């Protein structure tokens, strides 16, 4: 299937342009192009539309590539620039690359398509990095505005002055033409334009809007933020004020009051805008500051509470927690006493959020906060640090007391929760750091308690007390753990698929899903770098959930397209010990509408070492579910024949060293044949991994091996590449004529 590509070609030869376009079409691209050969034409083309890539001919006498690169840089656009020339020398290449060219192709165009694909990928990475940086800057600006307004409110700024500051700062921060504060009148039937920016002269302080006919009235009625992408197509309400001012997009949030809402805060643009969740959160945060300021007899206390407490759980927030921890350290140091810091993280919170919704996740967090608060002494502090992370400061306590308190907290949190009639369970992991033994300042104690918490997640039961041996995780590893958590939450991971071939039919029968992480800054990070980190940090569970969900949804898509192939996925040792795994997979199979027989889970022999009884129970339940089970890398573990007979598996995969060794080790063929015969005698299928040449493949066929995978047939492929492979490869479902 052709891929559209918008191509800008700097070239004075139509024939060379035609050659370039023909090569792009051969590479499955469908180019939309424009050819330019002067600086004026290039500038007009860059201003006139959006491009994916630029090609330049260095040999044009009147318009050099350096000049073209200078114009491209001045435009502010970040586009891949590839030089295509028959006569470019090394010095010219160096000069061009320094000026901003990304690559060059001299003479033969065979390297064109791989170069284009690489540069398009790298351009997307750069764009994503820029989007992330812009998002972080915008978020920082918004947070600074909220903090500034909060300080003004705390300082007792006059109400009218504060409202004028609010509308001015909101309009400036969100880059909109109009901002308004509408105050609900006592009868509740109309709103007064109390403060505003951009509105026609004489309206502010005078204009009233009926609650039944306006965007603001709809917000008050629905009690949720109202977002309008295009006012012309809006059917929920009609508001002449907005139409008269040419408003196209906007959003409004409620400013709460004591007995009834104070009114509505709105921001509006004259162009079509898609407001982000950050924008909505910002506007609501400003409205919350306004609401606190409007409550005259409670204003100072309320604002101070909002500044130092978590709005959801009413617990101290990170700011107040850090202050209390520092005060507790000073007191303990002065009185020559000890204290303990406990960092707590819920183990299944993301899964609950994903499957039951954020509302249920919020209800769970509130109950967790309530249970923790009820456990502690008045002199202790429990705080919500953010997300599903809590912290507890225990004054005048030793290590035994801290462990007992942590165990008590774990037992309390393990009790079932009832959320709007739904019963669920959630567990937690707790790390403990002691003053002064594990640190004499707040930052060190927090860091060490956090390390211990990750150890507790890895162990899987009970709290963990910090020890220096745990700190083998370098700062880069800790940063990588945080980034991996974000990558899972933001869907930044990739799955590639390696086909598995039936050696009797010579056709694909399934694929193995292989995880990849394209880090925005660090490039491609291999699984052997981040899977151990995920296992140690407790992220392996959401990571496995993500891979299963992604793979099964893709499998469903193939089946919908008539491509009935199975999908195999690897499990890690901690996941195999999780008694919730079978139920989790059953739910995912049902959600993705995939029959269990199309899923195969791969384990290694060594995974059974930790807790073989629990692992066997999990495997038995998976087998009852109808999911295929196989031993991966067979021959590298410790399994005895008796042990292998007890496992509820239906397939083994011969480890790659044994397969490749058939051609180099005189005992290799005998060993592989023995494994195949052993498996067949036990009623198991056999797949050989790492098949890289025809000789190995023919030997496996002669040995009656059932299936194989390896680079001879196909390397791991991205989803789009696999779709083409399935149709075009002689091993595929619909092989092309060769």
pLDDT confidence band for 534 (50 / 70 / 90): confident
Segment 255-272 mean pLDDT: 88
- 502 domain-assigned: no
Task: Please give the average per-residue pLDDT across 361-379, as a whole number.
Answer: 90
Cβ neighbours of residue 512 under 8 Å, at least 6 residues apart? 497, 498, 500, 567, 568, 569, 570, 602, 709, 716
pLDDT at residue 705, as a whole number:
95
Q: Report whether pLDDT(560) > 90.
A: yes
Q: Is residue 406 part of a domain?
A: yes
495 found inside a domain? no
Number of independent structural domains in the chain = 4
The rounded distance, in Å, linking the Cα atoms of 711 and 694 is 11
**pLDDT confidence of residue 578:** 83
Query: For the segment 413-443, what is each residue's pLDDT rounded down to a tens digit?
Result: 888 888 888 877 788 899 999 999 999 999 8
User: 620 and 665 share a domain?
Assistant: yes
Domain assignment of residue 498, yes or no: no
pLDDT at 371 over 90: yes
Answer yes or no: is 528 within a domain: no
> Distance between CA 551 and CA 592 in Å, rounded?
10
Model confidence at 535: pLDDT above 60: yes
pLDDT of residue 278: 86
Residue 691: its pLDDT value, please?
Answer: 92
CA angle 118-124-130, nearest 5°?
140
CATH number (domain holding residue 386): 3.30.70.270
| Residue 438 structural domain | 313-472
| Whether residues 220 and 351 fall in one domain | no
Boundary (domain end) residue, out of 90, 107, 124:
107
Mean pLDDT, rounded, for 549-555: 93
Least confident segment among 73-87, 303-317, 334-348: 303-317
Residue 479 has pLDDT above 70, yes or no: no
**Percent above pLDDT 90 for the chain:** 37
- Residue carrying structure tokens 């007979």: 645
Average pLDDT of the chain to the nearest whole number: 85
Grade residue 302 by pLDDT with cuts at 50, 70 and 90. low
Task: Give the CATH number of the domain where residue 614 resides.
Answer: 3.20.20.450
Query: Has residue 154 got a pLDDT over 80?
Result: no
Question: Is pLDDT of 682 > 90?
Answer: no
pLDDT reported for residue 610: 47
326 and 291 inside one domain: no
Residue bearing the bigger pLDDT, 622 or 294:
622
Among the listed residues 586, 589, 587, the one whose alpha carbon sits nearest the alpha carbon of residue 567: 589
For residues 73 and 99, give the distance between their C-alpha atoms in angstroms, rounded to a whole number.
9
Q: Is the domain of 253 the same as that of 329? A: no
In the prediction, which pLDDT does 297 show?
A: 44
Stronger pLDDT, 606 or 726, i.e. the higher one: 726
Least confident piece of the model among 230-234, 494-498, 563-567: 230-234
Residue 203 within a domain = yes
- pLDDT band at 730; cut points 50, 70, 90: very high
Burial class for 94, CB neighbours closer than 10 Å (0-12, 13-18, 19+): exposed
In DSSP notation, 121-155 reads HHHHHHHHHHHHHHHHHHHHHHHHHHHHHHHHHHT
Q: Is residue 57 part of a domain?
A: yes
Q: What is the mean pLDDT of residues 314-342?
A: 92
- Percentage of the chain beyond pLDDT 70 is 92
Q: Is 141 found in the same domain as 103?
A: no
Mean pLDDT computed over 709-713: 93
Q: Are residues 44 and 186 both part of a single domain?
A: no
- According to DSSP, residue 495 is labeled E
- At which of 422, 445, 472 does a domain end? 472
More confident position, 521 or 660: 660
Query: CA quadruple 137, 143, 146, 152: dihedral positive or negative?
Result: negative
Q: What are phi and psi of 634, to 5 degrees?
A: -60, 135
* Residue 639 neighbours by CB distance under 10 Å: 19
The pLDDT score that the predictor gives to residue 483 is: 79
- 628-634 and 651-654 beta bridge pairing: parallel
- What does the pLDDT look like over 613-658, one tens digit per residue? 778 888 999 999 999 999 888 865 545 555 677 789 999 998 888 8
For residues 629 and 699, state if they share a domain. Answer: yes
pLDDT computed for residue 243 by the predictor: 87
Average pLDDT (70-76) is 89
Q: What is the DSSP string of 391-444?
A: EEEEES--HHHHHHHHHHHHHHHHS-EEETTEEE---EEEEEEEETTT-SSHHH
Picking from 446, 472, 498, the residue at the C-terminal end of a domain is 472
Residue 617 lies in a domain: yes
Say how many C-beta atoms besides its own lie within 10 A of residue 278's C-beta.
13
Give Cβ neighbours of residue 652 (< 8 Å, ≥ 6 apart): 630, 631, 634, 675, 679, 684, 685, 686, 687
Tell me which of 248 and 638 has the higher pLDDT: 248
Distances (CA, A) of 382 to 344, 412, 429: 10, 15, 15
Q: Which pLDDT tens digit goes with each residue over 99-113?
A: 888 888 887 888 899
Specify whether 429 is located in the same domain as 571. Answer: no
SS (H, E, C) 718-737: CHHHHHHHHHHCCCCCCCCC
Which of 153-162, 320-329, 455-464, 602-611 has the least mean pLDDT?
602-611
Question: Would you state the pLDDT for residue 638?
Answer: 45
202-228 tens-digit pLDDT: 899 888 888 877 888 888 888 889 899
Q: Which residue has the higher pLDDT, 292 or 261?
A: 261
Same domain, 297 and 334: no
Assign residue 77 the CATH number of its domain: 3.40.50.2300
For residues 407 and 455, state if they share a domain. yes
| Predicted local distance difference test score (pLDDT) of residue 369 | 93
Strands 226-228 and 381-386: what pairing?
Answer: unpaired
Instruction: Say if residue 278 is in the same domain as residue 317.
Output: no
Q: Does the pLDDT at position 59 exceed 80?
A: no
Q: 338 falls in which pLDDT band (50, 70, 90)?
A: very high
Beta strands at 208-210 and 190-197: parallel, antiparallel or unpaired: antiparallel
pTM higher than the cut 0.75? no
CA distance 58 to 12: 10
pLDDT at 735: 46
Residue with tokens 């790390």: 431
Do both 249 and 156 map to the same domain?
yes
CATH code of the domain containing 248: 3.30.450.40
The H or E element spanning position 329 is helix 318-335
């Amino acid at each position: 299937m052709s891929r559209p590509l918008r191509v800008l070609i700097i070239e004075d030869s139509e024939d060379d342009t035609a050659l370039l376009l023909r090569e792009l079409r051969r590479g499955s691209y469908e180019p939309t192009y424009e050819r330019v050969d002067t600086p004026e034409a290039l500038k007009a083309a860059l201003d006139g539309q959006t491009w994916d890539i630029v090609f330049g001919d260095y040999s044009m006498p009147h318009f050099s590539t350096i000049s073209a690169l200078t114009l491209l840089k001045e435009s502010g656009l970040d586009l891949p620039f590839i030089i295509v020339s028959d006569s470019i020398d090394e010095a010219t290449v160096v000069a061009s690359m320094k000026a901003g060219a990304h690559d060059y192709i001299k003479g033969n165009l065979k390297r064109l398509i791989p170069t284009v694909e690489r540069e398009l990928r790298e351009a997307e990475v750069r764009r994503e990095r820029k989007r992330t940086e812009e998002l972080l800057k915008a978020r920082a600006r918004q947070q600074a505005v909220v903090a500034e307004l909060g300080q003004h409110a705390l300082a007792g700024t006059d109400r009218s002055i504060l409202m004028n500051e609010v509308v001015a700062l909101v309009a400036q921060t969100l880059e909109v033409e109009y901002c308004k504060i509408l105050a609900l009148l006592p009868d509740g039937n109309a709103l007064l334009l109390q403060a505003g920016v951009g509105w026609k002269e004489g309206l502010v302080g005078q204009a009233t809007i009926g609650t039944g006919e306006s965007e603001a009235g709809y917000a008050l009625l629905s009690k949720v933020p109202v977002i309008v992408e295009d006012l012309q197509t809006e059917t929920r309400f009609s508001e002449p004020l907005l139409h008269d001012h040419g408003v196209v997009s906007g959003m409004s949030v409620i400013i709460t009051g004591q007995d009834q809402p104070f009114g509505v805060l709105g921001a509006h643009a004259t162009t079509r805008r898609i407001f982000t969740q950050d924008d909505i959160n910002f506007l609501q945060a400003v409205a919350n500051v306004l609401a606190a300021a409007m409550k005259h007899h409670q204003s100072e206390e309320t604002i101070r509470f909002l500044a130092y407490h978590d709005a959801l759980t009413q617990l101290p927030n990170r700011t107040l927690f850090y202050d209390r921890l520092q005060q507790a350290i000073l007191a303990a140091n002065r009185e020559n006493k000890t204290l303990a810091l406990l960092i707590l993280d819920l183990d299944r919170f993301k899964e609950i959020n994903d499957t039951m919704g954020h509302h249920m996740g919020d209800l769970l967090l509130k109950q967790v906060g309530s249970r923790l608060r009820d456990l502690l002494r008045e002199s202790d502090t429990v705080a919500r640090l953010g997300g599903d992370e809590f912290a507890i400061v225990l004054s005048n306590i030793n290590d035994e007391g801290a462990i007992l308190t942590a165990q008590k907290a774990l037992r309390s949190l393990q009790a079932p929760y009832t959320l709007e009639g739904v019963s669920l369970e959630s567990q937690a992991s707790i790390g403990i750091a002691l003053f002064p033994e594990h640190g004499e300042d707040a930052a060190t104690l927090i860091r060490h308690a956090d390390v211990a918490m990750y150890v507790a997640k890895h162990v899987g039961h009970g709290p963990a007390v910090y020890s220096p041996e745990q700190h083998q995780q370098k700062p880069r590893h800790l940063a990588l753990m945080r980034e991996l958590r974000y990558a899972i939450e933001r869907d930044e991971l990739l799955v590639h698929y390696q086909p598995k071939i039936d050696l009797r039919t010579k056709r694909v029968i399934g694929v193995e899903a292989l995880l990849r992480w394209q880090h925005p800054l660090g490039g491609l990070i291999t699984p052997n770098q981040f899977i151990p980190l995920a296992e140690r940090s407790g992220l392996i569970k959401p990571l496995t959930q993500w891979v299963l969900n992604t793979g099964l949804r893709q499998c469903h898509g193939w089946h919908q397209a008539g491509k009935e192939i199975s999908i195999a996925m690897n499990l890690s040792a901690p996941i195999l010990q999780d008694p919730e795994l079978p139920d989790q997979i059953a739910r995912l199979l049902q959600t993705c509408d995939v029959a269990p027989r199309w899923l195969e889970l791969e384990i290694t022999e060594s995974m059974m070492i930790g807790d073989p009884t629990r692992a066997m129970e999990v495997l038995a339940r998976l087998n009852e579910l109808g999911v295929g089970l196989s031993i991966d890398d067979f021959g590298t573990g410790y399994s005895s024949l008796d042990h292998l007979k007890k496992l509820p598996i239906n397939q083994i995969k011969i480890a790659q060293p044994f397969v490749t060794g058939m051609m180099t080790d005189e005992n290799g063929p005998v060993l592989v044949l023995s494994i195949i015969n052993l498996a067949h005698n036990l009623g198991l299928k056999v797949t050989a991994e790492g098949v890289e040449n025809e000789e190995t493949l023919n030997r496996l066929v002669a040995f009656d091996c059932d299936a194989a995978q390896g680079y001879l047939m196909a390397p791991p492929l991205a989803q789009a590449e696999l779709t083409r492979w399935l149709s075009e490869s002689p091993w595929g479902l619909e092989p092309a004529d060769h």
